[in-house]
Structure 1
């Protein structure tokens, strides 16, 4: 069985991501809104290099988010004149890029009205198109393959278009708590080339793709895709999971629409991988058929002599045995690779072990490994080799667990844990904890407003201080302008403090993101966007501020959303299905903390 989740995008394809907007359907009695010259239109500047790319998937990736935006009448209603929607802006600009987009809309928009309008618009267009654009209506799926990592599967389909153009849609479908689509991307290569690349990558890890590869009927692939898409929310934040997902959803749904009906989806009891939130099984794996309790036997053994015995040691040993048994079918089956996976991926991110249990890992884990291998009859040399491989990982473990990105994953796992138990109240409480920075932080929240603070320049790398000071100057001007018309929304000084703290955090965790060429004004607006959304000041109703207010305050012509996504990752903020989670009381305004406490108390009462 494959013990690692392999790189799901073996060719490292990036994705052009862009958010757009629309309003109500165009009125035939209203004059169209003025449009920018094509060369200056920011959306066309995004589409142009994608259309000219030799990669047949480049334009799909660039255009798919726009297809989603056009079909959602709730997105950014205020950003276009009344009676004009996003499709109108492309119908009114007759250039190759908009013609290509009309082909995409006509082929894959979920809105029948938009498809009809795009098809009508194409009757007057004459620009020649590459086959991956004009040939979408003739696309077909030739084959489907899948391989699993124990917790989910990579499900891949090859698309064939006119003139021999082939591409592969690769998705990763997580099986727990229900099958849902966690990642998706397109690669402009035939299936043979994609599987060859995967085969080489897995061989370097000592695994064989051919032993895992499954040929899936097209009908069964369609059933699996539809089952996963049904369980995947449409309103997942576009900064979601991967480079192309969930922005690529419209293209995924188009490809799935090419597959026949009538297949079989995933079994209800398919989930075999272990998740940190899994309950202890009814017949725990440490109890053998003859009644032997492996946990008790281990704690009474010589390797465990130095452990601080008690419930913490007992629960930690039981947890480790559950992980091994649920994932690989053997509660004692340790080896160097498995120990590395446990210390690198599982233990730094699990939220269900107490700090007391975590503190026992440096002694308990090597003791458990030595005892397990000795009990299963391994040679002393194998035991010594395994323990030798574990030693440096144990030294690195405290720092790895403390890493902000590991902390973010633990917070995300808390939400997954609640989701698996299908308890709406617990899920809402876990989301509150995600926003606050954990259950301990949520329990200790207080509502005093953040103090007025200047930018902490000494905490910023020396080579970035001038740039950070420039960003800070834009913060002052932009936040002041943003709140000038709605001063009751927040205090200027308090909002500036939160923004400055986030800026310092970014420079400390990922200074390279600020060394890249980018507008300091745009960076400042992106920081404000993250803080405002994380404090429920900006976004969808009832949030009092909208993106148009931010753009006006910072004098921007385009959205800072792409820069905000980059800074969000640099700040190691956890992913949240509904908005931004700042996960730090020091970034939350007093009003936001007050609201979190109010909702927390309501949920406790329930």
Structure 2
């Protein structure tokens, strides 16, 4: 009897749904492992038992802030996938994960993601803390703002109506000392009016007016916080010092609170305007501020260095503090210790005048902005506090070199190659002073001086020098050099003795004298343009004359390390005019004159 054909089944409904429509069940129900899952659940349990009713929301916000649903503040591209975090909670049906998923659903900015999380909660009956149950209906009902009188930051204060808790206050601190950004967020489980009263008491204790704490529209508060977030996300914010930041370099308290704060912003009315202190400063250009400073000045006409110093200070404040007239103790510290000593295209005379000019610039700026007298005096006092560090940094060799290199690079970018070339010439002869004093007199004949050489390596040194003498005297390859052979001999002897006096160990290693002689001739011949494609001797011919099968440069490595003694020098530079023959020094002098005009 033939079998009846089976009726073809229609596909299961779940197979026709997109991934975005499916409940999150990627992880099977399981017990937490002994590692990270158990610790994570324990931390949620501790937050649920905390006396702080906002603890669970704060913790889950921190968890979400390191997922790929939010920007990575450090740009390290090591964020946790949001799906992985949610799937792990969906697959572990405990009371703690139920609570966390409810918070996640309310904090997620994407409605589709939130709906998927809520579908993952289907069938769970765990009781929720009142604060978590009320999170979905939380509202922002009040707002206030208090700014720093010197513009270093603002506190934006939000009053919440949080079902299950009552009055809760969120204080968002916007730091403006390093470019506007959110730095810290505080959730205070106390009513808005109580927190504002404490702020007024604090203002009074500091001699400030209580009305500096002002009520603002909720839409304006939203615009202020959103502006700070957007500016903090922008490329290239100033670096925050390590002691003013969290362990990863991010501002303290942020971005851990970001998911929670952005949930609040979505529930606040739009259409407001930012009320941050930086937005209230009058529009003043550097040119206007410079003209105003000298118009208000009395006495003798200003010197060029004074004008440049004032211009430098106003430019620095405009670029880094956001306004040419914005000066505070924090900005003074940053300018004197982190920025001005390393300013490029600035003369030493201008930097020398800065300590005298800065207090006057501060007083002028504060008069224009209407800053209180006491705040001005605190700012001026910061100048005296940080001047010793400023002077030390300005004179530090690393800062001097940084300024020089920066100026040369800037000139190069504008098509002027002269400064960079002149600096390269200076490095070749031993520095700017040596370049300025350079002459083209022939190197004198000098005997081999063994006075400063260790006794145990003198024989090796004499043998190397003898091989070089014989080659210079007898090789037909250099016969046409005439008197330059004697100068080359002197350069070789100076390098040989100088390197050995500094570090005789290079001659204590095993090595053939012929190879070392070849390396020495290469080391002195290349900087003098005597060895190479356009020199008197080709490299391969030099190697052949001494029976060297490899590159002569390899035979010079230990010699040059001994000579440089830790200094950074180009492979083809000895950094000493005393080892350059007259022909090469004459060429350098011509280039110096041509590019120093």
TM range (shorter): 0.3 to 0.5
Q: What TM-score comes out, normalization by structure 2 length?
A: 0.47
Q: What TM-score comes out, normalization by structure 1 length?
A: 0.46
Structure number, greater radius of gyration: 2
